[in-house]
Amino acid sequence: MTRKLRDRGRSRHAVRTSATVVVLAVSLAAAVSAGAATSRTLAPSACTPAGKSVFIRKQAATVYCGPARATVRLGGRTMTFNGGTCVWTSSSFKVQLGTIFLFRNFARERGFEIRAAGYPVARALIQVYWDGNYYEAGTLHATARPNASQTGGTFTGKTGRNGTGPSISGTIACS
């Protein structure tokens, strides 16, 4: 076989190099497909109220999952958030949905967070991350009203510095 290839102008070295390249390509393809099959069979990490810490575009963030959801009306827009957690105590609650960044200036992913203390009307910190924009309603300018069964509630407030931005309101459901 080598002789026939040499007759076509290819040296023994060229034949070995071609064979080596083919073997490496087949080995690489097998390794990649084995790795892909392994990653598909791994179980996803459990959904916890603390969320999952990740890095997105080299920025620290927490991704939340679970049955919680919220409908937020901000100015003239209505936004829906799904996949999050609710944590309740006797006098406070927090709802976290989607992706929340450690530093708000990296808010390219969608996320919603509300932290409230007090009952039946709670002072609330409301944060919304929506398509690269960040909105916050501070505790002096926002309230939340949890329902008696601790499965959801409503919130209202004004965003921006000193509550001078657009109005924010909406509902949350924890199951």
**pLDDT tens digits, one per residue of 37-95:** 333 333 455 667 788 888 887 888 888 989 999 999 999 999 999 999 999 888 899 99
My answer on whether omega of the bond before 44 falls inside 30° of 0, hence cis, is no
Q: How far apart are CA 97 and CA 172, in angstroms?
A: 10
Q: Is residue 37 domain-shared with residue 56, that is, in the same domain?
A: no
First vs last Cα of the chain: how many Å apart?
Answer: 71
pLDDT in tens, 83-142: 999 998 888 999 999 988 777 655 568 899 999 998 788 899 999 988 888 899 999 999
Q: What is the pLDDT of residues 21-32, one digit of tens each?
A: 333 333 434 333
Distances (CA, A) of 145 to 117, 120, 139, 165: 10, 6, 13, 21
16-30 CB burial, b ≥16 within 10 A, e <16: eeeeeeeeeeeeeee
Shared domain for 123 and 155, answered yes or no, is yes
> How far, in Å, CA of 79 to CA of 65, rounded?
17
- Given a contact cutoff of 8 angstroms between Cβ atoms, the answer to whether 161 and 139 are in contact is no
Same domain, 86 and 19: no
Q: What's the confidence (pLDDT) of residue 156?
A: 97
The answer to whether residues 63 and 97 belong to one domain is yes
3-state secondary structure of 5: helix
Q: What does DSSP assign to residue 161?
A: G
Q: Give me the amino acid identity at 60.
A: A
Structural domains in the chain (count): 2
Domain assignment of residue 29, given as a range: 2-41
Q: What is the pLDDT of residue 48?
A: 73
Please report, as a single letter, which amino acid is at residue 10. R
- Is the pTM higher than 0.85? no
Same domain, yes or no, for 17 and 97? Answer: no
